Chains A and B, each alone.
Chain A
Amino acid sequence: MAGSQEMDPKELDDSGPPRDEPPAPVELDIADEMSLDDLDVEPMYINIGPTHPATHGTFRLFCKLDGERIEKAAVEIGYLHRGFEKTAETKNYTLVIPYTDRLNYCSGLVNNVGYCKAVERMLGVTITPRTEVIRVIICEIQRIMDHMICVGANLVDIGALTNYWYFFNAREKLNDVLEALTGARLTYSYIRVGGLAWDLPKGFEENVRAALKTVPKAIKDVEGLVKKNRIFVDRARDIGVMSAPDAVSYGFTGPCLRASGVNHDLRRKKPYYHYDEFDFDVVIGERGDVYDRVFVRIEEMKQSLRIVEQALKILPGGPINVEDKNVVLPSKDRVHSSMEELINHFKLIIEGVKVPAGEIYDAIEAPNGELGFYIVSDGSGKPYRIKVRPPCFYLMNGLKKLIEGHMVADIVAILAGLNIIAGELDR
């Protein structure tokens, strides 16, 4: 703009009123007659979902707005309800495993482990040391992958797209490792009652080590972009604050509870699979806001890396399945060579594993929080009743409290930080 450079700036300054003299205040004579309450203001109602890019699944949010502030909110879920618990009552114990994959589909193996662990405790089966360590390794790999999706998506929702690609580059490497192990990339169904579907493929340890090398760099890149980023901090600090007593009352578990400053991790408090022998820290936040929830997850990924490294070092040899012909299928060569083993195989396939009558509640620390299975058995090969305790369901219960009073734009920031997975929310 050559023309503007030639213009004399003084001419512009003189055109307006002098700047140091403020305009005289206008005296309004209506204060006695009218107040703000008399203004004809109607609340505005908006509906978000059931399908909306920011809901990360299907659920519906209905808000009463005062300007851009959310005065009241109502949450409707159930759009992905497929009747998992009802279906499970008609399958035998082994056939339920593929359905558990579809609960939290970002970390299917953890659901497999949680379910099988509950059934194994009912059966009184102790899994072999090798299986135990393998389960720890894949659970922690899945925890890293789950947190990558959650943090990545949370940052995308508030406008930071690049981080998503940084995380998904590394996640792709981990996905390849699990694909080589299980043959699947999403619904793995690799865990069996009493052991695993098959042993580790050749070179698994080296592949895991190589894939895990990409994770610290991804974390470093993302942290460098967002940790002190003014835009991110403004969007996330003190937004969606959940105090520690409220978080406990609402049944928050996992990273969202720890972000509120509560030191609770089942891996430490109720150690299973010898988690107490691994050296890792429980990450705890301070304020319980969106920022803390993001960074508790990022720090947890670093702790999971430490656990996997230690587990790879101690990975013992030996069998992967328990020696119990009432629980685990006999090997194929024995089935083909012995009548008794053939009958055993048929009985297990057709009637299922016979679980003693009674009830059990067993839980593990899933990436999202406490994933519990309450199983009622009547002594037959099919579960009489399975009640899943999905961590999401209770996080979502707290959403109304978290968003009321905030702006509409904060909904997506808060929602993605809770890591709502409709698969386990609606079951």
Chain B
Amino acid sequence: MKDLDSIIEQVKERFGDAVESSDRPFGDAVLTVRKARIRDVLSHLREEGFDFLLDIAGVDGLHLGRCERFEVVYNLYSLAGDMRLRVKVFVPEGDMNLPTVSDLWGSANWAEREAYDMFGFVFEGHPNLVRILCHREFVGHALRKDYPIMKGQWATGTSDLKPDLERE
């Protein structure tokens, strides 16, 4: 099993300038990757032993002043090497599409649905990209910084789950 530094170096060599940066805030290893190659990088890391996709976190950096408004953070863990690695991708407000990784990790299925529900990222190729925590009549994305915290929305009925049976 390779150590974390050599895996990061290998990713940098292989994907060249698709890797924007790699740093270690508070000691956590973070790779920032261009959106166009995110699936390739994640697929490569999956083969390199990162068998856990622990979580996908969306961030709305409206007030952070970073290069793009949104971020998607993939939180990986390698069982064999006991290593954590975060892969971050900046997503511009005008182009919220990302490739899905739900075929690489089973956990990505719901994680991507949550990121879609809360921020509006569209994971292309996802088998069932519908809202998961908010009800399906909900308009807007609740965790965006410009969504008012007190703005509740009522659900008027039950959602039809019959189509979901055949998807996923």
Restricting to A61-77, which residues have a CB under 8 Å from any CB of B?
Answer: 62, 64, 72-74, 76-77
Among B128-167, those with CB < 8 Å from A are: 131-135, 142-143, 147, 149, 159, 161-162, 164-166
Contacts of B59 in A (CB 8 A): 376, 385, 387
Q: Which residue of B lies closest to A370 (CB)?
A: B54
Is the C-beta of A166 less than 8 angstroms from some C-beta in chain B? no
Q: How far is the CB of B162 from chain A (nearest CB, A)?
A: 7
Chain B positions within 8 Å of A370 at CB level: 54
Residues of B24-59 contacting chain A, CB below 8 A: 25-26, 28, 30, 51-55, 57-59
- Is B161's CB under 8 angstroms from A270's CB? no
A374 to B106, Cβ gap below 8 A? no
Partner-binding segment picked from A34-42, A242-250, A281-289: A242-250
**Interface footprint category on A:** 35 or more
Chain A residue with Cβ nearest B51:
A248
Segment of A153-161, A171-179, A389-397 engaged in the interface with chain B: A389-397
Interface pair A251/B133, CB less than 8 Å apart? no
B161 x A74 contact (CB < 8 A): yes
Check: A51 CB closer than 8 A to any chain B CB.
no
Instruction: Give the residue name and chain of the A residue nearest to B113 (CB).
Output: A397
Residues on the A chain within 8 Å of B55, using CB: 251, 372, 374, 387, 389
Q: Are A387 and B63 in contact, CB atoms less than 8 angstroms apart?
A: no
B109 CB–A CB distance under 8 Å: yes
C-alpha spacing A264/B52, complex, angstroms = 12
Closest to B63 in A: A378
Is there contact, CB below 8 Å, between B149 and A87?
A: yes
Complex Cα distance, B161 from A87, in Å, reads 29
Chain B residues positioned under 8 Å from A427 (CB to CB): 133
Q: Give the docked Cα–Cα distance between A426 and B117 (Å).
A: 13
- Tell me which residues across on chain A come within 8 A of B25, comparing CB atoms: 358-360
CB of B126 within 8 Å of the partner chain: no
Give A248 Cβ to nearest chain B Cβ, in Å: 5
How many A-B residue pairs have C-beta atoms within 8 angstroms? Tell me. Answer: 121
A325 interface hit (Cβ, 8 Å): no
Instruction: Say if the beta carbon of B73 comes within 8 Å of chain A.
Output: yes
Contacts of A81 in B (CB 8 A): 133-134
Q: How far is the CA of A47 from the CA of B140 in the complex (A)?
A: 28
Residue pair B64, A378 in contact (C-beta under 8 Å): yes
- Do A83 and B142 contact each other (CB < 8 Å), given the known contacts A251-B53, A251-B105, A374-B73? yes
Q: How far is the CB of B20 from chain A (nearest CB, A)?
A: 15
Query: Looking across the interface, which residue of chain A has its beta carbon closest to that of B165?
Result: A72
Contact of B106 among A86, A246, A253, A389 (CB under 8 A): A246
8 A-B pairs within 8 Å (CB atoms) are namely: A76-B161, A77-B133, A246-B106, A251-B55, A251-B106, A251-B107, A374-B57, A387-B73
13 new A-B pairs (CB below 8 Å) besides A78-B134, A401-B106, A427-B133?
A: A62-B161, A77-B133, A78-B131, A85-B118, A86-B142, A122-B26, A248-B51, A248-B52, A250-B105, A251-B52, A251-B106, A251-B107, A397-B107
The 5 tightest CB contacts between A and B, nearest first, are A251-B107, A74-B164, A62-B161, A387-B57, A250-B106
Residues of chain A whose beta carbon lies under 8 Å from any beta carbon of chain B:
45, 47, 60, 62, 64, 72-74, 76-78, 81, 83, 85-87, 89-90, 121-122, 246, 248-251, 253, 262, 264, 269-270, 358-361, 363, 370, 372, 374, 376, 378, 384-385, 387, 389, 393-394, 396-398, 400-401, 426-427
